[in-house]
Amino acid sequence: MRRPFIAGNWKMNKTVDEAVEMVTELKELVAGVEDVDIAICAPAVDLYAMNKVVADTNIALGAENMYWKESGAYTGELSPAMIKSVGCEYVIIGHSERREIFGEDDQLLNLKLKTAFAEDLNPILCIGEKLAERESGAHFDKVEFQLEAGLSGIEAADVKNMVLAYEPLWAIGTGETATPEQAEEIISFIREKVAKMYDQKTAEAVRIQYGGSVKPHNVTEIMAQPNIDGALVGGASLEAESFSQIVKFD
């Protein structure tokens, strides 16, 4: 059985004080939750202080990005060791904003994934199509391509432990959600694709989240789909109350 996994992605929001205030509130609200994995992926400058609040709780931390080299002349970048040193277990790789605004391509993301595995971090690899691709019916081809390129050369043992997040770009921050049926259709396609690339066991083990305007009022229906194992939550993860309601989805 795959354990549900609800992760927040704060993007470029919250100063250190605001971050500490939020997780202080959140840890009380989700204190009794034992059957769901919970993580907050936060801006790098917030993580050290957040870790002081959530260490030894059921809230894990993640980074929103990292570079694939260990150290060196890469001004502005963060290494895997740096994000681990502030308590991160997870790292988001290839969020659509990184792909679209910062020009990250599948080859670079593949290198980041390999580094994350080598450094014992759990990557959350984001994949998903643009509106035009959905409208022209190219969404299956798009996620297939992203999986093949992103996972190239990666072992089944690593894929089993990673997280995939299907996030259609047209649903991110727009208030427009894929219907639970649309999300289930493509997420089951992604699972089948993992089975073809690897094997059935790997496909059954890998957790696949849906992301795109997940809110307290729609999470239950989304989580009721058999292939959807969790959610990657942007806007609704910024407030402790709404994020805790999503964590307690049923």
Structure tokens at 135: 């409208």
Q: Least Å distance between CB 213 and ligand PEP?
A: 4
Measure the CA–CA gap between 137 and 241, rounded to whole angstroms. Answer: 37
Measure the CA–CA gap between 214 and 6, rounded to whole angstroms. Answer: 10
The answer to whether 37 contacts ligand PEP (rule: CB under 6 A) is no
Measure the CA–CA gap between 51 and 225, rounded to whole angstroms. Answer: 33
> Which listed residue (95, 129, 133, 184) is catalytic?
95
The answer to whether 214 contacts ligand PEP (rule: CB under 6 A) is yes
Among 42, 66, 172, 187, binds ligand PEP (CB under 6 A): 172
- Distance, CA of 250 to chain centre: 20
Any bridge partners for residue 233, and if so which?
8
A 10 A CB-CB count for 175 gives 9
If the CB atoms of residues 80 and 212 are measured against ligand PEP, the closer one turns out to be 212
Residues 55-74 close enough to bind ligand PEP by CB under 6 A: none
**95 classed as catalytic:** yes
Using CB under 6 A, count the residues that bind ligand PEP.
13
Residues 6 or more apart whose Cβ sits within 8 Å of residue 58? 30, 31, 33, 34, 38
If the CB atoms of residues 69 and 130 are measured against ligand PEP, the closer one turns out to be 130
Residues 112-171 close enough to bind ligand PEP by CB under 6 A: 167
Among 159, 169, 233, 240, binds ligand PEP (CB under 6 A): 233
Span interacting with ligand PEP, options 32-40, 104-112, 142-150, 208-216, rule CB under 6 A: 208-216
Any bridge partners for residue 62, and if so which?
41, 90
Coil, strand, or helix at residue 213? coil
If the CB atoms of residues 59 and 233 are measured against ligand PEP, the closer one turns out to be 233
Measure the CA–CA gap between 45 and 64, rounded to whole angstroms. Answer: 11
The answer to whether 94 contacts ligand PEP (rule: CB under 6 A) is no
> Which listed residue (97, 104, 133, 167) is catalytic?
167
Among 53, 127, 203, 232, binds ligand PEP (CB under 6 A): 232
Cα–Cα separations (whole angstroms), residue 182 to 21, 114, 171, 207: 36, 30, 12, 18
Q: Least Å distance between CB 167 and ligand PEP?
A: 5
Phi, psi torsion values for 161, nearest 5 degrees: -95, -5
Interacting residues with ligand PEP (CB under 6 A): 9, 167, 172-173, 211-214, 232-236
Enzyme catalytic residues = 95, 167
